[in-house]
Amino acid sequence: MSSDSISKPAAPIGRRIRVRIAPSPTGPLHLGTARTALFNWLFARKHGGAFIVRIEDTDLERSDPKYEKDILEGFKWLGLDWDEEVYRQSERLALYEKYITELLDKKLAYYCFCSKEQLEEERQALLAQGYPPKYSGRCRQISADEAAKRARKGEASIIRFKVPETKITFTDIIRGKITFDSSLIGDTVIAKNTRAPLYNFAVVVDDYEMKISHVIRGEDHIANTPKQILMQEALGFERPQYAHLPLILSPDRSKLSKRYLETSLSDYRKEGYLLEAMINFMVLLGWHPAPEKDEATGRIFEPEIFSKNGLIKSFDLKRAQKQGAIFNIEKLEWLNSQHIKSLDNSELAKRLEEFLPRDWPKEKVAAALVVEKERMKKLSDFVELAGFFFKLPDYEAQLLIWKEMSAAQILENLEELKSIFRAYEALNIEDVIMKLADSRGRGGVLWPLRVALSGKQASPGPFDIIKVLGREEALERIKIAIKKLES
Ligand code: GLU
């Protein structure tokens, strides 16, 4: 292998764009993986390419089909549709075996019989001398025939790739030129046996077999890239282009706490975040749109609210950032409230369904959400905000009293309101009540009215509430308030 071939250019322009998300099903779908999936999906959709899902389940102990299900459901929820059948590495073992055997035959890989204890001892010895740990290459010396015989007989072994000493340079779309010195790497383990490949090797085979043109993944994989490139070279595979997305950091720039990173996407969903808000939020974790000009004021600004279709238009992988992306939960809440506001009411009603108690009548929900839409940060807020429409909360009579007024005065005003509600069936109650309020003092009329209708210290205004409750129920609630003050 010449070092020339190692720095050969990446996939030629014009090659069909094919990208993949390659989650390991060892936990539910988290924000980091969902973000990587989104960037891949946007890139594919933008360029008319293919977006592929590959489940990396070679770690049999840690993989679990229930996580695969969660991951795929998360992609579906976000609308990140994939273009081919889902691939599973566990179903492709024959393929990896073919290439592992090829490397063994070409003597580019070899069986290693070193015991764990032996390796650990050597590691410690190197560390003690101030050297970075690296496998000595001892088992390179064993002849291929003898090694094959020993492995066949069942002697414990693994398979290592012979890492050539060279410099590997690749151009990362986001980070520019990156060079690694492979002499620091040491011979990498690529498989436990010919049918049990490890991550780095299976990725190389799959990216090649699936004709992946661009590998877009998290920054935590940068150190794997030179190893993967060396294996591609050994097998004569074309090199894909690489783009490593920035880490997600907490607001103080420390590594994002597990609390957020390990919050699964389905938890965000259950908390009442819209998929539109999640997409909008995730794309801004590491990417910025091109600034735009406000035609009216001439002001230059960076748009923040995006629909998925809008993103397909404006997304440009080259605008992804190198530096860590700050996770800001207030921003997510704000984006969510913005996207809630822009949903049309019938769609919002549909989204709310899974959050509502079963016995809430649909028509009343539809009326209440018009009133509460502006106040909701999350879908789950609705039950708390609008609960009083469905069941009057128990409240203290004292809450009905406006400032320095006496209970008797308030009672008188409520009696007056009661007659208005009785008498003015067909008329515009608002006008009549406002007349009363203007003659008796606004606070003394509107405050107890609002409290009587809502049972709460804070709520939407009384006329909005009346629209939702209807005249009959409003009247009932006023009667309840009167009783409370009387006793
Ligand atoms: N399976 C790897 C992971 O879940 C991703 C591998 C890759 O994108 O190359 O982190």
- DSSP labels, 100-155: HHHHHHTTSEEEE---HHHHHHHHHHHHHTTPPP----GGGGS-HHHHHHHHHTT-
Tell which atom from ligand 1 comes closest to the C-alpha of 24.
Answer: 4
Number of other CB atoms surrounding residue 80 within 10 Å:
23
258 annotated as belonging to a binding site for a ligand? yes
Using a pLDDT cut of 90, give the percent of the chain over it: 92
Mean pLDDT of 272-288: 97
Mean pLDDT for the stretch of residues 158-182: 97
Q: Whose CA is nearest to atom 3 of ligand 1?
A: 23
| Residue ID of nearest Cα to ligand 1 atom 7 | 22
Residue 7, pLDDT > 50, answer: no
Local structure of residue 234 (DSSP, 8 states): H
Could you tell me where the DSSP H helices lie in 173-222?
199-209
The answer to whether residues 96 and 191 touch, using CB atoms and an 8 Å cutoff, is yes
Closest by Cα among 428, 483, 408 to 452:
483
The whole-number average pLDDT for the span 329-346 is 97
Residue of minimum CA distance from atom 4 in ligand 1? 23
| pLDDT value at 419 more than 80 | yes
pLDDT for 384 beyond 50:
yes
* Among 55, 172, 199, residue to substitute to test ligand 1 (most atoms within 8 Å of Cβ): 199
Longest Cα–Cα distance of the chain, Å, equals 105
Does the pLDDT of residue 98 top 90, yes or no?
yes
The pairing of strands 87-88 and 109-112 is: unpaired
In this prediction, residue 8 has a pLDDT band, given cuts at 50, 70 and 90, of: very low
Give the pLDDT confidence score for residue 404 in this predicted structure: 95
Question: Is the separation of the CB atoms in 402 and 410 below 8 Å?
Answer: yes
Does pLDDT of 436 surpass 90? Answer: yes
pLDDT band of residue 6 (cuts 50, 70, 90) is very low
User: Exposed, middle or buried: residue 211 (CB in 10 Å: 0-12, 13-18, 19+)?
Assistant: middle
* pLDDT score of 186 more than 70: yes
Predicted confidence (pLDDT) per residue in 99-110, tens digit: 999 999 999 999
Report which of 329, 328, 331, 391 is spatially closest to residue 359, judged by C-alpha positions. 391
> What is d(CA 257, CA 468) in angstroms, rounded to the nearest whole number?
43
Question: How far is CA 386 from each of CA 381, 406, 456, rounded to the nearest angstrom?
Answer: 8, 30, 11
- The β-bridge partners of 169 are 179
Report pLDDT for 114. 97
Could you tell me the distance, in angstroms and rounded to a whole number, from the CA of residue 51 to the centre of ligand 1? 15
Mean pLDDT rounded to a whole number for the chain: 94
Place of tokens 């880490």: 247
The string of pLDDT tens digits covering residues 220-269 is 999 999 999 999 999 999 999 999 999 999 888 887 776 777 789 999 99
**Burial level of 301, CB count in 10 A (0-12/13-18/19+)?**
exposed
Atom number of ligand 1 nearest to Cα 218: 8
Confidence category of residue 427, pLDDT binned at 50, 70, 90: low
258 catalytic residue (yes or no): yes
Tokens read off for 411: 């009672």
User: Where residue 14 falls among pLDDT bands split at 50, 70, 90?
Assistant: low
Instruction: List residues near ligand 1 (CB under 6 A).
Output: 22-24, 56, 203, 217, 221
The pLDDT, as a whole number, for residue 9 is: 45
Does 121 score more than 80 pLDDT?
yes
- The position carrying tokens 């819209």 is 274
Query: Which listed residue (153, 177, 258, 403) is catalytic?
Result: 258
Indicate which atom in ligand 1 lies nearest the CA of residue 220.
10
Ligand 1, atom 6, lies closest to the CA of 22
CA 376, CA 384: separation in Å to the nearest integer? 10
Tell me the CA–centroid distance for residue 47 and ligand 1, in Å. 23
Would you say 186 and 134 are in contact if contact means Cβ atoms under 8 Å apart? yes
pLDDT tens by residue, 359-377: 999 999 999 999 999 999 9
Q: What is the best residue among 63, 198, 221, 224 to mutate for testing ligand 1's pocket, by most ligand atoms within 8 Å of CB?
A: 221
pLDDT value for 310: 94
Task: Ligand 1, residue 36: give the atom nearest the CA.
Answer: 8
Which H or E run contains 253? none
pLDDT at 70: 97
Between CA 454 and CA 469 the distance in angstroms is: 10
